[in-house]
Amino acid sequence: MDWVMFKNHKRNNEPLQLCKERKRLINSAIDSRYTLSASHLSYIYLFETLALLFTVTLRHIY
């Protein structure tokens, strides 16, 4: 009898495990999105810095 209850409990626990796994995956996707956004912003700042550097260099030359 105890084995049957344990087996049923394990089967009933499956939706909870799926929910926890989905939550973990969603949080991972959110973290990845923030990381991508931060790297994209750094990329944009790099081009802004390069544009400023070229502008200063060209003004110095001419």
pLDDT tens-digit readout, 19-51: 999 999 999 999 999 999 999 999 999 999 999
pLDDT of the residue at 4: 56
- For 34-61, letters b (16+ CB in 10 Å) and e give eeeeeeeeeeeeeeeeeeeeeeeeeeee
Residue 12's pLDDT band (cuts 50, 70, 90):
confident
pLDDT of the residue at 13: 87
Q: What is the DSSP string of 1-62?
A: -HHHHHHHHHHHTHHHHHHHHHHHHHHHHHHHHHHHHHHHHHHHHHHHHHHHHHHHHHHHH-
pLDDT of the residue at 3: 56
pLDDT of the residue at 39: 98
**pTM score above 0.75:** no
